[in-house]
Structure 1
Amino acid sequence: MTTPETFADLQIHPAVLQAVTDVGYETPSPIQAATIPALMAGSDVVGLAQTGTGKTAAFAIPILSRIDTDNRQTQALVLAPTRELALQVAEAFSRYGAHLKVNVLPIYGGSSYVPQLAGLKRGAQVVVGTPGRVIDHLDKGSLDLSHLDYLVLDEADEMLQMGFAEDVERILADTPEYKQVALFSATMPPAIKKITAKYLHDPVEVTVKSKTQTAENITQRYFQVSYPRKMDALTRLLEVEEGDAMIVFVRTKQATEEVAEKLRARGFAAAAINGDIPQAVRERTISQLKDGTIDILVATDVAARGLDVERISHVVNFDIPHDPESYVHRIGRTGRAGRSGTALLFVTPRERHLLASIERVTRQKLVEGQLPSVEDVNAQRVEKFRDSITDALNAPGFDTFRQLVESYERDNDVPMADIAAALAVLSRDGAEFLMTEPPPEKKRERPDRPERERPARKVRDDLATYRIAVGKRHKVLPGAIVGAIANEGGLHRSDFGHIDIKVDHSLVELPARLPKEAWKKLENTRIQGILIDLKLERGGRSKSDKFDKGDKSERSGKFKPSGGKPFRPKQ
């Protein structure tokens, strides 16, 4: 069988081909070239592929090509481990089905049932959901899978690691025996092999290794910096680096707002985008990034998908990604169309293993950078101040102000240099001009311990201990706890610390500053049918890793444009 050279060679539906052409796709990726013909022919498929290989299009395109758009019943179900992936997959289905009359509905925990129930009642031919919320709708009778023709398990190994094995089995048991199944997984552990053997019929196996090389025109550096000092480190780099526009990647939606707010407090033109921001606001923010109204975008991985802005010269991994593929995708936002780009990575001491993983997968050794010193920053501030004076000499209104200053000099017998200095102080609005060294970080004193004493478990300062009302007697496992809380509360696996399962309750380390919306979403969360009744454990609060307060002493101005244009503070 010859390898298809274009999507037109794959015999997909003309309307789907038009949508694929609209988004600029021409040549199918290896997994698409191998998977689409098999699914179009009606075969079950097992795909071993990492994120970033194009697997979403590999199953969305053939399903959309074969679906009956005149039938309002649910014909395709895609199970995804997280709400972020469910939204991403649903968006992909809508994009490739833009010229079809097809209703795509994402259903996931942590959001209102009302729009989901309304969407199911109207009729959704394609449903993309997380296992827990899919089961909820099955129990309510709002989701009918009796006419299901296509089932996709996306990132199946991740679903099982998060404790969804029983949920997946329950959903599979509720589907018709004769249906087409596609299973995609990065690895093939025994549990996945068991599902494959039990529910797939003579599947076609497709294995594709992702391309993880990073572009040669992207300069990559990492900085070892403690979590509380990240904002100070970012500020220093922004003042010294020459660039045009920047994306700062963080791990959570809450962090996008916090980091953007701190940057604005320091005088930088920054904005946040995340999954909770309405599409209209997102489009306006990206437009402002393109036209130079803002210079720094603080984003999560999901919110930045599909973002292509020419003027992005820098990508900063404020929070190191746990998946090396995510790192490759992030830094690919710069260095587009042959232009040079810069990728900067913050690594805390306890995250060195993640750095090693990135270097191993990308087959590149990252260079450790040195953060600019206080002297470096102050030298830049002085230079920019001098440049701003030069620019102002030719600014409109200069003659008027010169006359006023000369008049003041005559009337008050004050030297011109003193007047200029006073005006400079006035323009700072009370803020310090030169940066000072921050106080040294306090090191915890560790008491001597006996030789055979086991080392204490490392404590994450950004977490606090919470109590939930399920434990050993409920036969609960850590994976089930992570899966339920992550999906219902909109959290990531990295937001979890130690889990201690007691007889009738469990203690779980979660972010100390748990967002109000997460609290609200978790009020009705159940594990093994038991309401978890989430509470902050008495005496279990840890010191939260807060971002540095954005005081005026470090207010400096816009990220320095390329070409060495003068610094101009925001008015």
Structure 2
Amino acid sequence: MTETDAPAASDAAAETAAPTFSDLGLSDPVLKALREIGYETPSAIQAATIPTLLSGRDVVGMAQTGTGKTAAFALPIVDRLDPAQKNPQALVLAPTRELALQVCEAFEKYAGHLKGVHVLPVYGGQGYGVQLSALRRGVHIVVGTPGRIIDHLEKGTLDLSELSYLVLDEADEMLKMGFAEDVETILAETPDTKQVALFSATMPAAIRRMSKQYLHDPEEITVKTKTTTSATISQRYLITAWQRKMDALTRILEVENFDGMIVFGRTRSITEEIAEKLRARGYSAAAINGDIAQAQREKTVNQLKSGKLDILVATDVAARGLDVERISHVVNYDIPTDTESYVHRIGRTGRAGRTGDAISFVTPKERWLVRAIEKATRQELTEMSLPSVDEVNETRLSRFDDRITAALAESERVDRFRDIVAHYVRHHDVPEVDVAAALAIVAQGETPLLLDPDVEPARPPRDRDDRRDRSDRRESDRSDRGDRPERRAGQYAMYRIEVGKRHRVEPRQIVGALANEGGLRRDDFGRIQIRPDFSLVELPADMSRDTLDRLSDTRISGRLIEIRPDTGGPARRRSGGDERRPPRERDARGDRKPRRRDG
């Protein structure tokens, strides 16, 4: 077993001894691609894993998201591909379509100097036609989610008989989302001679069992991390009332020197509302969520990468696998209720050694979430104050000064306007400084340059006792939800899925699978009732037809769920069965009586 620490930037000896990519045994075409991308030195997981995989040995890698594990498995695969072989040589299984797309993009970059290498993403929500056409033409690398890979195997459209390399990426997440049986079914369809690489942030018993059963004498490589969040990310939080969040965000945008930003909201409707209000305030912003078509999502992300878009407003599911270098800030407009989501969100910035800023909006009754995050990440979050009117005005004046300085540099245009101003002064007997002030009014338009000091909001009151017990927290969350229209009664509809107790299904598997295929958030789930042969799930009543179509291909525990609106009577639904909340949501929802519904 190999254990390695990420080298500290201040450790000169470690930097001197650090290997380069050319030391790892990679071929010249791959090294050329890495130089063009801008990769200089391998990360800890890359330096330990690449030589092992190039030698042909199986690998079990323990590494958190953001440590560079994609390159750790992708570079050795690209290095050893045979472009003349048209059947898939490598298969990468990923828990989400966003991660699958990110891995595909990485493969295409690394293979930039290899002629004729084809990479195909295979995931639910995309039409079969594109995937079938590509498979018929010949594909060297397939990256996909387990459910859609199973569909292709059953249809006979995916041939894995000549597979040489298999990667299980974020294996623990796949198991959490209920893909264990699908993964084992896929493994059974692959040759025994293949090389396997398994990567996981944790090593639960199920992963350990799988590695023993399907991997041959694997090398275990662990990248030790001292915290679950990057030390290069500044983490702050702002106490603010729910109804003042947009004003707070606007002020932060005024004073923070940001390049690209992701703003996280809990629900699809919130992301769209935030983006619309930001655009109305003059910011370049767009929303992505589960209702956004994949083509539109890719277009929006490319605009963010190129600088045509500055602010992306996203739900957790929509932002998975997103890696954009220019993201300098992450704002949690709604602070997540679990620390895992928090870590994934702020990990969109401060990647690969870059610095980043994470700011979380916290209502007075959500302070306990800050303490939970600090305990889990072993890092302190710094409380910040709302930028004052004076700070905003100072920033506005500084930017106004910069605009004047930039304009003065255009000497030819300044000379022409100097004559125009002089003409006005001669004919109207007005001081030049007054003319300059009038021109500034014309340039500024109707929006005042400076804020009025009277708009300073009052600070939210502090809780008398921050150490509230669990019942107080539940009551607090219920109060907060009352401000959000998506929580009102009548927003859910009941759906039936054809998996139940005898299929050993659990609520977390249902939530994980439906969230992945349909782009849903945990807040989109109401009650989950698990019966012997089927389950009932409350989902948003306004769920689009496209989302329902995507969900129709979902598999849980290897079975098609055949989702459809439930038409059973209230007595049947309330009797028997295993009625549960989605994971981590029961406390947040509080104790409520089941809602009566008309049959």
TM-score by length of 1: 0.73
Which residue of 270, 293, 296 maps to 1:277? 296
Cα displacement (A) at 1:130: 0.6
Q: For residues 518-529 of structure 1, what are the structure 2 equivalents within 5 Å? A: 518-523=547-552, 525=554, 528-529=559-560
8 Å Cα contact 1:335/1:341 also seen in 2: no
What SS does the corresponding residue of 2:564 show, helix, strand or coil?
A: coil
Q: 1:205 to 1:244 in 2, by over 3 A?
A: closer
Alpha-carbon distance in structure 2 between the residues aligned to 1:203 and 1:120: 31
Alpha-carbon distance in structure 2 between the residues aligned to 1:153 and 1:211: 25
Cα displacement (A) at 1:58: 0.9
Cα displacement (A) at 1:147: 1.3
Partner of 2:518: 489
Q: Report 1 or 2 for greater relative contact order, CA contacts < 8 Å, sequence distance ≥ 6.
A: 1
Q: 1:534 to 1:347 in 2, by over 3 A?
A: farther
Partner of 1:48: 62
Alpha-carbon distance in structure 2 between the residues aligned to 1:229 and 1:160: 40
8 Å Cα contact 2:122/2:131 also seen in 1: yes
Cα displacement (A) at 1:268: 3.1
Name whichever of 482-491 and 272-281 sits farther off. Answer: 272-281
Q: Is 1:88 aligned with 2:107?
A: no
Partner of 2:495: 468
Partner of 1:6: 20
Q: 1:344 to 1:526 in 2, by over 3 A?
A: closer
Q: For residues 130-145 of structure 1, what are the structure 2 equivalents within 5 Å? A: 130-145=145-160
AA aligned to 1:62 is P
Which residue of 200, 204, 207 maps to 1:192? 207
Q: Is 1:157 aligned with 2:172?
A: yes
| 1:122-174 Cα distance to aligned partner (Å, 9 max, x none) | 11111111111110111111111111111111111111111111111111111
Alpha-carbon distance in structure 2 between the residues aligned to 1:334 and 1:53: 7
| 1:230-261 Cα distance to aligned partner (Å, 9 max, x none) | 3232124334x253545133258956554222
| 1:409-456 Cα distance to aligned partner (Å, 9 max, x none) | xxxxxxx9xxx9xx99x95499xx868699999xxxxxxxxxx9x978
Q: For residues 355-434 of structure 1, what are the structure 2 equivalents within 5 Å? A: 355-356=370-371, 358-360=373-375, 363-372=378-387, 427-428=445-446
Partner of 1:99: 113
Q: Is 1:30 aligned with 2:57?
A: no
Q: 1:130 to 1:384 in 2, by over 3 A?
A: same
CA RMSD between the two structures: 4.8
AA aligned to 1:468 is Y
| 1:198-252 Cα distance to aligned partner (Å, 9 max, x none) | 111111111112465878886542023455543232124334x253545133258
What SS does the corresponding residue of 1:91 show, helix, strand or coil?
A: helix
Partner of 1:124: 139
AA aligned to 1:499 is I
| 1:21-73 Cα distance to aligned partner (Å, 9 max, x none) | 22122222121122111111111111111111111111111111122111010
Alpha-carbon distance in structure 2 between the residues aligned to 1:335 and 1:4: 15
What SS does the corresponding residue of 2:237 show, helix, strand or coil?
A: strand
8 Å Cα contact 1:150/1:181 also seen in 2: yes
Cα displacement (A) at 1:87: 0.9
Partner of 1:260: 275
Name whichever of 115-124 and 132-141 sits farther off. Answer: 115-124
What SS does the corresponding residue of 1:531 show, helix, strand or coil?
A: coil
Which residue of 155, 170, 181 maps to 2:185? 170
Q: Which consecutive unaligned segments of at least 5 residues does structure 2 have?
A: 5-16, 409-413, 429-433, 461-470, 574-599
Alpha-carbon distance in structure 1 between the residues aligned to 2:445 and 2:476: 50
8 Å Cα contact 1:220/1:344 also seen in 2: yes
Q: 1:47 to 1:384 in 2, by over 3 A?
A: closer
What SS does the corresponding residue of 1:207 show, helix, strand or coil?
A: strand
TM-score by length of 2: 0.70
AA aligned to 2:495 is I
Cα displacement (A) at 1:278: 6.5
Partner of 2:86: 72
Partner of 1:305: 323
- The count of residues paired between Structure 1 and Structure 2 equals 510
Partner of 2:348: 330
Which residue of 528, 532, 538 maps to 2:563? 532
Q: 1:357 to 1:137 in 2, by over 3 A?
A: farther
What SS does the corresponding residue of 2:517 show, helix, strand or coil?
A: helix
Q: For residues 214-229 of structure 1, what are the structure 2 equivalents within 5 Å? A: 219-225=234-240, 229=244
Residue identity over aligned pairs, in percent, reads 51
Q: 1:178 to 1:487 in 2, by over 3 A?
A: same
| 1:330-373 Cα distance to aligned partner (Å, 9 max, x none) | 3427995xxx8754222356765654454346543111123357
Which residue of 217, 221, 227 maps to 1:206? 221
Alpha-carbon distance in structure 1 between the residues aligned to 2:159 and 2:396: 68
8 Å Cα contact 2:86/2:138 also seen in 1: yes
